[in-house]
Homo-oligomer: A and B are copies of this chain.
Amino acid sequence: MKPSTVIQRGPNDPGLTNPGRRQILMGSASAMAAVSLLGFAPLAKAEEPKTLPDYAAWKERNALIVHSTNTMETQRGAIGQGVITASDRLFVRNNLPAPPESIVADRDAWQLRVEGVKNPKAMTLGELKQIGVATVASVLQCSGNGRAFFPHGAGGTQWSVGAAGCVMWTGVPLKDVVAALGGLADGVEYITSTGGEELPAGLEPTQVTVERSVPTRALEHALLAWEMNDEPLPLTHGGPLRMVVPGFYGVNNIKYVKQVAFTENQTGVKIQASSYRIRDVGEKGAPNQPSMWEMNVKSWVTSPLESAREGRTMIYGVALGGTVALDKVEVSVNGGRTWKPARFLGPDLGPFSWRPFVLAADLTPGEYRIVSKATDMNGNSQPEGRMDNERGYGHNGWSDHGVTVEVG
C-alpha cells in the first residue's frame, strides 16, 4: 500500500451518509444465513470492516469502501485522471468466495473446457496463449453501480459510483479460439461461461453457480484474459483466466473461467435466469426480462466533491459509452439548467474504455449542483432521471449522479 494517499470523502456518497438506510432488506433468517454462507456480510452490519479480506489485502485500503468480504467499491474521490484504473483501486465484486490462492500457483496449467464448437476440447492456459493475443481497454462495471441512489430500497450492495473502473486486459481473442477448434457448432446463439469457484455445500448448484450467457454478437470482441494492467491477472480479479466481454456489465466477465460453451439457449442457473434482470419494482426475476448485457452511456463527476475555493475550479469526471464510443460530455454547475462542453483528458483507448473529462469553471461563493451528461456516437444521451427497477440496475440518470459543492 502506498502511503499518503488519503482520499476525500464527500457527503454526496449515499453509501456513506446513510449507512443505515437499507438495513432491513432480508425477509427471513434463512435468507440471512444463505447470504452469510455465500461470504457476504449480512446487510444489517452497516459498519465498514476495518481491514481488507486476505484475498484482496494488496489493495489500497484508503481508496476503497469495503462493503463486505466480497464487495469493495472505489471511493468517488479516488478515481484519477489516468484513463486506466490502478489495479489496487479497482472495485471488487465476487458472487462466491474466491477460490484458494493455489489456483494461481501454476497459471499455465489452468484448464478451460470449450464446448459448442466443431472440435470441443479441454485446453490449458499455456495452450491458449499460443493461439493468439490482443490487448483491449474496457470498463468493468457492476450492474448495480448506482444502486444506492434508488429510493425504493433496492436489495444488494449499496454501490454509489465506484463499482466501475477502466482496465487494460490482455488475452486470447475468443474468436481465435473458436477458429482453432473448427468454428462454432450449428445453431449456437449464446456464449455461456462458467466460473471455477467452489460451490458452498448444502446449496442447490443451480442456485449458486456463477455461469452467464451472452449473445454471440459479443464474440467479436470477447477475450480470455490472463493479464490485467500489465500484470498477471490477480486472483482477486479472476486470475488465472477471466472471460472479458468488452462493453458488457461486470457479471458477464466470468472469473476463474473453467468452461466456455457455445449454446443454443441461455443457461438455466439462477444468476442468469432470474437474477440480473430488469423488472418493475416488486416483480420477481424471470427469463423474459432484459438481461444485464451491454452497458449504457454514463458519466459522473469525481472532483470536486464537497467544497472548492472561490475562483477557477477544475471539474473532473469519467464517462463511458458501453459498446459505443463517446461523442461528448457536458457539465452543468446549476443542476442541469445550462451546460458546457467538457474536454476529454488523455489518450483515447477505444470504444470500450472510459474517458476522463475536465471542465474549468469560474465559481463565486455559493452552493453548486454539479452534474455531467455523456452522449455516445449513436446520439444516445444519459437521461435526467432513473429508470426504477426492482434490483436497482443500470442507473445512468445524470441527476442522481451529481454532487453538491460549497464554494467559498
Contact = CB atoms under 8 A, between A and B. Distances in A.
A87 to B, nearest CB: 7
Nearest to A3: B101
- Per assembly, the copies of the chain total 2
**Which 7 residue pairs across A and B have the least CB separation, nearest first?**
A135-B346, A82-B230, A80-B230, A4-B104, A82-B168, A81-B170, A130-B312
How many of chain A's residues touch chain B, expressed as a range?
35 or more
A383 to B, nearest CB: 28
Contacts of A360: 130, 132
Chain A interface SS verdict (over half)? loop
Contacts of A137: 346-347
Contact of A86 (B87, B235, B350): B87
Contacts of A136: 346-347
Interface string A51-93: 0000000101000000000000000000111111111110000
A105 interface: yes
A325 to B, nearest CB: 13
Nearest to A170: B81
Contacts of A104: 3-4
Nearest to A78: B231
Interface of A: 1-5, 58, 60, 79-89, 101, 104-105, 107, 129-130, 132-137, 168, 170, 227-232, 234-235, 239, 311-314, 345-350, 353, 356, 358, 360
Contacts of A170: 80-82, 345-346
Contacts of A239: 4
A329 to B, nearest CB: 15
* Most chain B beta carbons < 10 A, residue from A2, A235, A312: A2
Contact of A3 (B60, B132, B133, B235): B235
A304 to B, nearest CB: 11
A231 B345 contact: no
A137 B347 CA distance: 8
A247 to B, nearest CB: 15
Nearest to A59: B2
A385 to B, nearest CB: 31
A136 B312 CA distance: 23
A5 B231 contact: yes
A231 B314 contact: no
Given A82-B229, A83-B135, A349-B349, 7 more contacts: A2-B58, A4-B235, A80-B230, A82-B231, A130-B311, A130-B314, A134-B345
A13 to B, nearest CB: 19
Contacts of A60: 231
A82 B228 contact: yes
A82 B2 contact: no
Contact of A80 (B89, B130, B227): B227
Nearest to A58: B2
Given A4-B105, A81-B133, A314-B130, A347 B345 contact: no
A3 to B, nearest CB: 6
Contact of A5 (B2, B88, B133, B232): B232
Given A345-B133, A347-B137, A230 B83 contact: yes
A227 B81 contact: yes
Contacts of A89: 230-231
A39 B9 CA distance: 38
A309 to B, nearest CB: 8
Nearest to A308: B130
Contacts of A130: 311-314, 360
A99 to B, nearest CB: 12
